[in-house]
Amino acid sequence: MELQQPAATNKEKRHFDLDKVAPYIAVAPFYILFLIFGLFPVVFSAYLAVSKWDGLGQIQYLGMDNFSRLITDMDFWLSLKNTLIIWAIGTIPMLFMALVLAFCLNLKFIKHKEFLKSVLFLPNITSVVAISILFGLIFSNFNGLANGLLGVFGLKPIKWLTEPGWVRVVIASVNIWQYTGYNMIIYLTGIIRIPGDLYEAARMDGASNPQIFWNVTIPQLKPIILFTVMMSTIGGLQIFSEAQVLVPTGATPQGGAMTIVYYLYQTAFTQHQFGYGSAIAWGLVVVIMFFSLLNWFITTKRVKGA
């Protein structure tokens, strides 16, 4: 008996089929990293969301307490409001600008297209922290460039980073600056794929460039526009670094600079309430799912309507 056991495993080993195993080995680096840094934190944060933990002591099970606290937590809702406002004033003008830029770049008389594309895309690959520091200097309350310009026109300086209304604009502007080029590239790809005869026909009928833009480019780009809106919504709801670097201290939900992820970061990593922080994260998951479903609903309806 004892002798037969290893013999059996040896026999099994002989049947080791490299062709079947190789693909798994090939995807293993991704999956191992995904399991450690992707799946595990997600599962662990779900566990923490129903617990109380300061990062050091015992994890105490709380049940749904964190979630009932979340629903009545005004700070959470105000942070959500800030996030949505920042998203709205950032995303809408950004996508429009990206679309106009993409359209212009595709016009025949524009030269050095590759150079312009690279330059416009550059902000996207720049560190968001560096960009935010730069914007912090531009919008500094006292000696900033923005207030300097206002002064040239005889206008009163604005407290960009401390007024609840303006700080949202500044945070949104970082986002605009960073993502316009990215969305432009996506639109440009879409525009190139629009059949040339549509433009030709429009030009034959005497349409001007703005008319072509509104009546040919935009309708043809609808699926791509919806894609960018959806991606920008998901990204916009997770806005964090911009707010954190521009307002590193004293950010409050009422003060305008506190976004949901910033609130979650502060709760978990500054106040060490990892349980409630995780509950906020799951609250955000619900919000993102809601908006994704909304987007999906609008998209399918449009497709059906078309």
Partner 1 sequence: MKLTKIIGLASMAAVSALAIAGCGNKSSDGGKVSLSINYYNGAISKQAIKNTKAKFPKYKLTFKQVPANEDYDTKLKASLSSTSAPDIAAINSNIVDYLPYKEKFVNLADYGTDKVADQYVAWKWDSTFATKDYQIAMPIDIGPTAFMYNVANFKKAGLPTDPDEVSAGIKSLDGYMSYAKQLKEKANKPMWLGAVALLQEMEQKMTKDMYSANGKKLTLGDGQLKDAWDFTVKGLKAGYMFGVKANSSDNVNAQQKGMYSGMIQASWGIADLKENGTKNNSWLIARAPGEPANSGGSYLAVIKTTKHAKQAAEVVKYLTNKKNQEANYKELALFPSVKALYNDDFKNVTDPLFGDEKYNKYFIESANELEYTKADPRSTAVRQIFENQMQLVQDSNKNPDKAWKEAVAKAEAIQ
Residues in contact with partner 1 by CB under 8 A are: 36-38, 40-42, 44-45, 52, 55-57, 128, 136-137, 140-143, 159, 162-164, 238, 240-241, 244, 248-250, 252, 254-255, 261, 264-265, 268-272, 274, 278, 281, 284
* Nearest CB to partner 1, comparing residues 191 and 264: 264
DSSP bridge pairs for 52: 60
* Shortest Cβ 82–partner 1 spacing (Å): 13
The owner of tokens 């004293």 is 250
* Shortest Cβ 93–partner 1 spacing (Å): 23
**Helix, strand or coil for residue 123?**
helix
* Nearest CB to partner 1, comparing residues 36 and 107: 36
* Shortest Cβ 28–partner 1 spacing (Å): 18
* Nearest CB to partner 1, comparing residues 9 and 249: 249
* Shortest Cβ 90–partner 1 spacing (Å): 16
Question: What's the CA angle centered on 77, arms 76 and 83, to 5 degrees?
Answer: 90
* Nearest CB to partner 1, comparing residues 22 and 234: 234
* Shortest Cβ 37–partner 1 spacing (Å): 5
| Secondary structure element (H or E) that encloses residue 168, with its range | helix 164-192
* Nearest CB to partner 1, comparing residues 47 and 214: 47
* Nearest CB to partner 1, comparing residues 103 and 265: 265
- Cα-based distances in Å from 76 to 170, 223, 259, 283: 21, 33, 9, 9
* Shortest Cβ 232–partner 1 spacing (Å): 14
DSSP bridge pairs for 61: 51
Which residues have CB under 8 Å from 296's CB, separation 6+?
A: 230
* Nearest CB to partner 1, comparing residues 99 and 264: 264
* Nearest CB to partner 1, comparing residues 45 and 217: 45
Question: What's the CA angle centered on 11, arms 5 and 13, to 5 degrees?
Answer: 105
Spatial contact of 141 and 160, defined as CB atoms under 8 Å apart: yes
Q: Is 166 exposed, middle or buried (0-12, 13-18, 19+ CB in 10 A)?
A: middle
Question: d(Cα 174, Cα 242) in Å, to the nearest integer?
Answer: 7
* Shortest Cβ 112–partner 1 spacing (Å): 34
The owner of tokens 């959500």 is 80
* Shortest Cβ 278–partner 1 spacing (Å): 8
DSSP codes of every residue in 17-77: -HHHHHHHHHHHHHHHHHIIIIIHHHHHHHHHHTEE--SSSPPEE-TTHHHHHHHH-HHHH
